[in-house]
Amino acid sequence: MYLKFYGLKEKPFEITVDPRYFYLSETHKEALAHLIYAVQEKKAFAVVTGEAGTGKTTLVQAFLSRLDSKAKTAFLFNPKLDSNSDFLYSICEDLELGGQKGSKVDYLIRLNAYLTECYSKKEDVVIIIDEAHTLGPELLEEVRLLTNLENSRAKLLQVILLGQPELDNILNRPQFRALKQRINVRYRLQTLNRKETGEYIQRRLRIAGARSTNLFTPRAIRKVFRYSKGIPRVINTVCDNALVNGYAERERIIDIGLIREVISDREGKNPGARRKFVFAAAGIAGVSLILGVLYYYGPTQISETVRNIGEKIWQYGKLGLKGIVALVEQRFPTFFV
């Protein structure tokens, strides 16, 4: 929608994980170093926590890309399973052990044989459990028991738990004392600071092919930081919406006013003076656009065009000028070219 207008090759603020867009802040670098240390030193347990959207999945992808090529990994990113047996089966399946479904004992025997073989080949085996704060007490106990898989020299696998801050609270409960005692590495992921937020935005714009990484003004970036509190997922959403609004209003630079508009929309607040002005202007602009469409396409399409646009003006009115622009573009893709 806005790519050509801003000279972009692709959307810079997609929420999906793309290794090209990895931005490792200082806190991400520290967390990454902790995880690599845990695997290299054969530590049984590592725990990384952080607020939703702080980049835990990004951290995991960066970690996996730095593991030895011979390392074997099982990644469970939705551990809400019905039973301990299903949990162990998911691990075996992710490690591609094969075999039919069986009992918990069957899976443990199969897993232990596999780990012993990997150890003899000097291959690390790492189990990564995302959203670990959603694990129930029984599954957390099963996770602890996995570290009993060892030989006389070392643990046969490493377990990494990723979760929101609630995971720290869970692990501090008396009933999980035995599990907590086995945790060798523990790290709390922090949000981006103001400087890192600016670098994060500019890096994503640069990778997406922006002609200039100064597309967002310094004041706009500061506003994004204050609102997002440095959480990458929120930064992405706000910046993407700002580009949509900027394109609709034909603004080549994303200023603080556009960021305020996005925040007002997200929070469901009444528009400020600037938005009210835009709404008032939208009526005039809408009439002008309709007349332009009629003149451009001629009388053969007048009836249908007037009816379609007229029916939608009220529906799109709350979006101001951008709603009308989007409507006309949808109806006549080449109108603004």
- Which residues have C-beta within 8 Å of that of residue 113, sequence separation ≥ 6? none
User: What CA–CA distances, in Å, run from 83 to 86, 110, 135, 136, 296?
Assistant: 5, 18, 11, 10, 65
Reported pTM: 0.76
Note down pLDDT in tens along the chain; length 337 residues: 799 999 999 999 998 888 889 999 999 999 999 999 999 888 889 999 999 999 998 899 899 989 888 899 999 887 677 678 888 988 999 999 877 788 889 999 999 999 999 999 999 999 999 999 998 888 899 999 888 888 888 888 999 999 999 999 999 999 999 999 999 999 999 999 999 999 999 999 999 999 888 899 999 999 999 999 999 999 999 999 999 999 999 999 999 999 999 999 998 875 544 444 454 445 545 545 555 555 555 555 544 554 455 444 434 444 455 555 555 555 555 544 4
DSSP 6-24: HT-SS-TT-SS--GGG---
Portions of the chain given CATH number 3.40.50.300: 26-188
Tell me which residue of 146, 112, 152, 148 sits closest to 132, measured CA to CA. 146
* Range 26-188 classified under CATH 3.40.50.300: yes
Measured in whole angstroms, the distance separating CA 315 from the mean position of its chain's CA atoms is 31
